[in-house]
Amino acid sequence: MLQFFSKYKFLAVVLFVLSAIIITIIYNILKPTEILPVFQPSQVSSEMVDSTLQHVKKYHVIADFALQNQNGKTITQKDYNNKIYVADFFFTTCQTICPVMTDHMLEIQEKLKNDTDILLLSHTVTPEIDSVAQLKKYAIEKGVNDAKWNLVTGDKKEIYTLARKSYLAAKDNPYEENDLIHTENFVLVDTQKRIRGFYDGTDPEAIEQLLHDIEVLKKEK
């Protein structure tokens, strides 16, 4: 019996390896390709969607914008053409969730520092305080890479409209001058300006999911 197994040991090893390869190939063929959803206003919690958009079921994209970044440059949609990006809303004097969110954005920046297809975009919700100079000071203190991450300020109503009607990232309330949007949402946007995911910017596990989803989105591109 031992002589039999010894004689055919090489063949058995070959058959085992071939079987493993065949099983792996079949698994990869049958395994469905992971695809991220395209979020439409009708699919998002109604409290996060402006009442004028709650019926929209398709074609929702991020609206055009023109805002100033930490270097005084006007940033528009053209700066994000053919890019995947992560957007959020913060303010430099925030002492609660914003520092954690900024740290997580820095983590994303570091992990994707060599990937020029991925950008970051943070909108201040207190533009009356966060001037270009203030954003620049904050960017230097935090270690923001200007080539990858824009901190933007500008017209408050434009920023709040973007949060509520484009990014679907803030509770639907009529705009008032003294409003203060305070949202922990990170929003993943694809190369076609569509929303592909929402993530809690204060949750480390959500950030890991975001990084995973970025890789999924890159394959789709």
Sequential pLDDT tens for the chain (221 residues): 545 445 555 555 555 555 556 554 554 455 568 999 999 999 998 888 888 888 899 999 999 999 999 999 999 999 999 999 999 999 999 999 999 999 999 999 999 999 999 999 999 999 999 999 999 999 999 999 999 999 999 999 999 999 999 999 887 666 666 677 889 999 999 999 999 999 999 999 999 999 999 999 999 86
Q: From residue 177, give the alpha-carbon distance in Å to each of 65, 66, 127, 155, 181.
A: 19, 19, 11, 11, 11
Domain ranges of the chain: 1-31, 41-220
Q: How far apart are CA 140 and CA 158, in angstroms?
A: 26
User: Which of 122, 133, 58 lies closest to 90 in space, CA to CA?
Assistant: 122
Pairing of strands 149-152, 66-68: unpaired
CB 65 within 8 A of CB 77: yes
Q: Please, are residues 201 and 97 in contact by the beta-carbon 8 Å criterion?
A: yes
The pLDDT value given to residue 143:
98
Handedness of CA 150, 170, 94, 67 (dihedral sign): positive
The domain made up of 41-220 is a member of CATH 3.40.30.10: yes
Report pTM.
0.84
Is 104 a known ligand-binding residue? no
- Residue indicated by tokens 């992990």: 111
Which distant-in-sequence residues (6+ apart) come within 8 Å of 194 by Cβ? 38, 39, 60, 61, 62
CB distance 144 to 103 below 8 Å: no
Q: What is the pLDDT of residue 24?
A: 47
Is 98 marked within a binding site? yes
Q: Are 200 and 184 in contact (CB under 8 A)?
A: yes
